[in-house]
């Protein structure tokens, strides 16, 4: 069989080019530390790596969601604790002013402190985060305030004091025990099987509530110190207390009872916030463990074995050198070299 010079050169160049490409390929894998750098390296592995990366990115987003939710809940916890302190101080003063030894002037002086507590409490109940979203307005975070002065309902107040009204997420049709879940905002912190939000997030570990209904947090179910038509809330009990003290009157025992009920209710809300914070931490730990296992799986598919890579690099270098040497030897062969 005859082999033309062109055919010989084409075969030699093709062999050298193949070994050069193989050498560059393994050099790239060793330099990046990855066996799969582009889909053509291994289409099946490339698809698996993409799927793993997508899942890991989702877990990372859930982690960020959890961090945001925890910061919200930490702030809310701080504000409610401050409200508890205000309620306890107001109750101390209520019990103190119920003593008949105090004069009307002394009670009126105490009313000044109660007024300061009312202003402080109003600011706490209308707290907003760094983004300007109200903490205690449920999903109605865009309003200016969650609690406003109720000019339409002054009630039986004898002074210039004013009751407050809650204008956050509507409570219509909501039982008091379920009110916190109505109109609340939820953040997903983990994988979810049905991708549905339930009004009660306590049984759904994949989501956590990050806002609360102020009508529930600061509400006083069955309040006996407030008249009909007035929001049964902590701040209105303080308004009622101040009204009595402004007139120099002894505060009724019902005010002390309502303040105690409010303290107990806010303590319950604090425990629920703590439960949500624990769920966030549990989901975070679970996500990190899952992400680690995915990382190990991706590494086994994607990473280049260094020992195997160096061995392959040596083989490719040797093969290229041999192809180049063969071409040098053979390309100079000619019939004229054998003629006398």
pLDDT of residue 231 exceeding 50: yes
pLDDT at 12: 55
- Can you tell me the mean pLDDT for 258-268? 95
Tell me which H or E stretch contains 166.
Answer: strand 164-166
Cα-based distances in Å from 45 to 115, 290, 313 = 69, 20, 22
Q: For residue 299, what are its two tokens?
A: 């590494």
pLDDT of residue 333 exceeding 60: no
Q: For residue 226, what are its two tokens?
A: 């407030």
- 3-class secondary-structure state, position 15: helix
pLDDT at 303: 67
pLDDT of residue 173 exceeding 50: no
pLDDT at 202: 57
- Can you tell me the mean pLDDT for 145-161? 81
What is the percent of the chain where pLDDT is above 90? 42
pLDDT at 250: 95
pLDDT at 174: 46
Select the more confidently predicted residue: 331 or 295. 295
Question: Per-residue pLDDT tens for 292-302?
Answer: 999 888 888 87
pLDDT of residue 139 exceeding 60: yes
pLDDT at 80: 97
- Least Cα distance to 185 among 196, 197, 203 occurs for 197
* pLDDT band (50, 70, 90) for residue 252: very high
Q: In whole angstroms, what separates CA 259 from the centre of its chain?
A: 33
Question: Per-residue pLDDT tens for 79-130?
Answer: 999 999 999 999 999 999 999 999 999 999 999 999 999 999 999 999 988 8
Select the more confidently predicted residue: 170 or 62. 62
Nearest-angstrom CA–CA distance, 191 and 62: 8
- Helix 43-97 vs helix 104-125: crossing angle, to nearest 10: 170
pLDDT at 299: 80
Lowest mean pLDDT among 18-27, 57-66, 163-172: 18-27
* pLDDT band (50, 70, 90) for residue 234: very high
- Least Cα distance to 259 among 80, 88, 3 occurs for 88
Question: Per-residue pLDDT tens for 203-216?
Answer: 567 888 888 889 88
Q: Where are the alpha helices (DSSP H) in the chain?
A: 5-32, 43-97, 104-125, 214-217, 234-246, 253-302, 306-331
Q: Got the DSSP string for 64-118?
A: HHHHHHHHHHHHHHHHHHHHHHHHHHHHHHHHHHTSTTS-HHHHHHHHHHHHHHH
């Amino acid at each position: 069989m005859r082999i033309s010079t062109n055919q010989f050169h084409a075969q030699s160049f093709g062999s050298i080019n193949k070994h050069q490409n193989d050498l560059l390929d393994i050099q790239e894998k060793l330099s990046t530390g990855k066996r799969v750098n582009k889909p053509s390296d291994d289409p099946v592995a490339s698809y698996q790596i993409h799927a793993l990366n997508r899942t890991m990115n989702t877990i990372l987003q859930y982690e960020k969601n959890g961090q945001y939710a925890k910061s919200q809940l930490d702030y809310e916890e701080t504000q409610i604790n401050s409200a508890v302190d205000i309620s306890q101080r107001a109750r101390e003063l209520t019990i103190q002013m119920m003593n008949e030894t105090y004069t009307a002037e002394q009670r009126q002086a105490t009313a000044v402190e109660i007024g300061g507590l009312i202003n402080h409490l109003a600011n706490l109940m209308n707290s907003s985060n760094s983004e300007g979203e109200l903490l205690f307005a449920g999903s109605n975070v865009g309003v200016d305030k969650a609690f406003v002065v109720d000019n339409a309902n002054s009630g039986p107040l004898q002074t210039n004091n004013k009751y407050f009204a809650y204008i956050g997420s509507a409570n219509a049709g909501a039982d008091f025990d379920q009110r916190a879940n109505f109109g609340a905002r939820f953040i997903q912190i983990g994988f979810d099987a049905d991708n549905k939000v339930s009004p009660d997030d306590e049984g759904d570990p994949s989501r956590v509530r990050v806002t609360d209904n102020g009508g529930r947090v600061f509400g006083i179910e069955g309040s006996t110190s407030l008249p009909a038509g007035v929001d049964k809330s902590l701040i209105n009990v303080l308004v009622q207390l101040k009204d009595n003290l402004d007139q120099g009157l002894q505060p009724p025992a019902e005010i002390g009872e309502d303040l105690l009920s409010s303290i107990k209710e806010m303590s319950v809300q604090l425990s629920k916030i703590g439960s949500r914070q624990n769920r966030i931490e549990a989901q975070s730990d679970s996500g990190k463990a899952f992400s680690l296992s995915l990382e190990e799986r991706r590494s086994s598919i994607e990473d280049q074995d260094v020992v195997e890579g160096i061995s392959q690099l040596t083989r490719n270098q040797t093969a290229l050198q041999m192809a180049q040497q063969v071409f040098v030897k053979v390309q100079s062969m000619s019939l004229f070299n054998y003629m006398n």
